[in-house]
Chains A and B, each alone.
Chain A
Amino acid sequence: MESFIAALMNSLALGMLLFLIAIGLNIIFGVLNIINFAHGALYMLGAYITYTVAVLTGVSFWIALFAAPLIVAAIAVVIERVMLHRIYDRPITDSLLLTFALLLIIDETVRWIWGSTIHVVDPPASLSGTVRLLGIQQPVYGLFVIAMGLIVGLGLWGFFSGTRAGRVMRAAAIDRKMSRLVGIDVPLVFTAVFAFGAGIAGFGGAIAAPIRAISPAMGANIIVESFIVVVIGGLGSFPGAFLGALILGAINGFGSRYLPELNLVMPYIGMALVLLLKPQGLMGRTAS
């Protein structure tokens, strides 16, 4: 029982991290109609910036937690203005190619700046240690990750359904031409949405920094995992991203405890099953 609860909490923490990446991927896809292959790289960038801000400058982790998403979002603005905005009218393959190129560029730049070795960030004192919950000792930081994921999820849901900016973004996603006609500055919205999604990825990276080894491979790993999340949940679906992230979190969390030999291929088996039974994903509407 104890190991079950430990695996459950671990699964939830992993799931929330995946949710933060998958939801940004979904938002960018929903509005810009682009699958951002560099999304994992932006997450990785968030983790490295957290490392630099928190460890090297000696500033607190909390400042890094705010600085990382903002810096990543600022980089995303440049990316969108210089590169992405040129190809919105082109076939979707071009955007796949361009963000793939971006992935190569960010990945190699990170290796250049920070090297290929693994970096470690310690959680702040107030979040280290364990607390007794549900009959076992839980790492405080794991609970913090779960809480952060839920807060961001609820915040995004409120933002898109309740605020004007959120509704403008949704309008631009549904009909670009019509949005332009009613006075929405669509190019500005596109820049904002890309920066917004990238900022969430940067935030995810900052949160992940103390629990995951910071290495150049972390970006590619998480993008593959968040693709699995999106395929399981359904592309473009908000609840789908949440559900998919929880499922993959559970596959990873329980799999590493109970089926360590199959742990590696389990996510792919899960994805293959979903593809066979429901090709649009559990919550997806259309396949395209």
Chain B
Amino acid sequence: MSRRAGLITALIAVILVALWFLPAWAPYFYIFVAAEILILGLFAAGFNLVFGYTGMLSLGHAAFFGFGAYVTAMLLLHFDTPLAFALIASLAGGGLLALVIGFFCVRLTEVYFTMLTLAFGMMVFSVAQQWRSFTGGSDGITGFAVGSFGLGLDLTLGNPAVYYQLTLVIVTLAGLCLYLITISPFGLILRAMAENPERVAFTGIPVRRYRLYSFVISGAFSGLAGGLFAPFTRVASPETLHWSQSAEPVLMSILGGSATFLGPFIGSAIFVLLETWITSFTDRWMLFLGIVLALMVMYLRRGLLGTALDRLTKRG
């Protein structure tokens, strides 16, 4: 077991190093694709803390992702803040919004929870869409400049390769944080709640409050991912808040395997590569997304990584 853990760590390290040197040889197009995979992977991993670990399906996580995007875009546009500050604000903003929405949603279980997250998510979307004077309506927020990073680092963020490498570092650090959370005693409690909430409640743990903690942490990381996304796409648009955006981390987690920590990242890679490939010859991407999600749920519920690991464990 520990040998396999060492193997996986080594593999991840190799992949990270390879990703770091990607701009040295790959054309810009692939740098953009890789940056999108990283950002959406972080979004999906944040979402999966609630879905895979705590056992609650949220269909409103775009609210936190999009909110993070708007926070960063607005701070950059109106106050010219260093990017590091804007990202921290996105992280906090996503967590705060998740606290407010989660306060209502975690009061009820399963079905209600999912319905409520979708409803509140669409509320945030409608507000962004209609509060034209503040959010720019359907145009979203554009025209913000990405100046300095702050924290004493001198980075030319306008250069996509530099922004990509920064994204890689931040996503790696954030992913590491998330991983440490999932293996901590707190993370184990979350997993236990997914398995059997009654039993956890009998041990004296306030289930509802732990659900809320999980939701807030998840919202914060989704907000951070959104904060990274806005400077990447140069826009914070209402689409990042729409329910179809909430579908993406769901599908990524299912694709990769929601029971594994790396599943959402692998799902994100498959998702973005598929999207890039499929949208090159049709704009019916969402239709394809729905069909893949349906097939995965019906036939491969444990995801690609999850199923592969199952196979390996059965053999070894």
Please give the residue numbers on chain A whose beta carbons come within 8 Å of chain B beta carbons, in ascending order.
29, 35, 37, 83, 86-87, 90, 92-94, 96-98, 100-105, 107-109, 112, 220, 223-224, 227-228, 230-231, 235, 264-265, 268, 271-272, 275-276, 279, 287-288
Contact yes or no, A100 B127, CB < 8 A: no
Knowing A87-B298, A104-B247, A265-B127 are in contact, say whether A227-B290 is a contact too (CB < 8 A). no
Please give the residue numbers on chain B whose beta carbons come within 8 Å of chain A beta carbons, in ascending order.
55, 57, 59, 104, 107-112, 114-116, 118-120, 122-123, 126-127, 130, 243-244, 247, 250, 254, 284, 286-287, 289-291, 293-294, 297-298, 301
CB distance from B258 to the nearest CB of A (A): 10
Contact yes or no, B110 A230, CB < 8 A: no
Contact yes or no, A93 B287, CB < 8 A: no
Contact yes or no, A264 B294, CB < 8 A: no
Chain B residues with Cβ under 8 A from A109's Cβ? 287
Cα(A112)–Cα(B55), bound, Å? 34
Which 6 A-B residue pairs are closest in the complex by CB-CB distance?
Answer: A104-B290, A105-B290, A108-B287, A101-B293, A101-B294, A108-B286
Q: Secondary structure at chain A's binding surface: helix, strand, loop or mixed?
A: helix
Contact yes or no, B250 A97, CB < 8 A: yes
Contact yes or no, A112 B284, CB < 8 A: yes
Chain A residues with Cβ under 8 A from B254's Cβ? 97
Chain B residues with Cβ under 8 A from A83's Cβ? 294, 298
Knowing A86-B298, A96-B57, A275-B108 are in contact, say whether A220-B290 is a contact too (CB < 8 A). no
Chain B residues with Cβ under 8 A from A87's Cβ? 297-298
Chain B residues with Cβ under 8 A from A264's Cβ? 123, 126-127, 130
Knowing A105-B290, A108-B284 are in contact, say whether A100-B126 is a contact too (CB < 8 A). no
Contact yes or no, A227 B130, CB < 8 A: no
Q: Secondary structure at chain B's binding surface: helix, strand, loop or mixed?
A: helix
Contact yes or no, B286 A227, CB < 8 A: no
Contact yes or no, B119 A93, CB < 8 A: no
Cα(A29)–Cα(B286), bound, Å? 26
Cα(A104)–Cα(B293), bound, Å? 9
Knowing A112-B284, A231-B112, A287-B109 are in contact, say whether A100-B123 is a contact too (CB < 8 A). no
Cα(A37)–Cα(B244), bound, Å? 13
CB distance from B124 to the nearest CB of A (A): 10
Cα(A240)–Cα(B244), bound, Å? 29
Contact yes or no, A104 B287, CB < 8 A: yes
Most chain A Cβ neighbours within 10 Å, of B110, B116, B290: B290
Cβ-neighbour of A107 out of B112, B119, B130, B286 (below 8 A): B286
Chain A residues with Cβ under 8 A from B286's Cβ? 104, 107-108
Cβ-neighbour of B108 out of A105, A112, A287 (below 8 A): A287
CB distance from B221 to the nearest CB of A (A): 21
Cα(A264)–Cα(B137), bound, Å? 14
Chain A residues with Cβ under 8 A from B126's Cβ? 264
Chain B residues with Cβ under 8 A from A98's Cβ? 294, 297-298
Contact yes or no, A235 B123, CB < 8 A: no
Closest A-chain residue to B285, C-beta based?
A108
Closest B-chain residue to A29, C-beta based?
B111
Contact yes or no, A100 B250, CB < 8 A: yes
Contact yes or no, B107 A279, CB < 8 A: yes
Chain B residues with Cβ under 8 A from A35's Cβ? 111, 114-115
Selected A-B contacts with CB under 8 Å, 11 pairs: A35-B114, A37-B118, A83-B298, A87-B297, A101-B294, A105-B287, A108-B290, A265-B123, A275-B107, A276-B104, A288-B109
Contact yes or no, A92 B110, CB < 8 A: yes
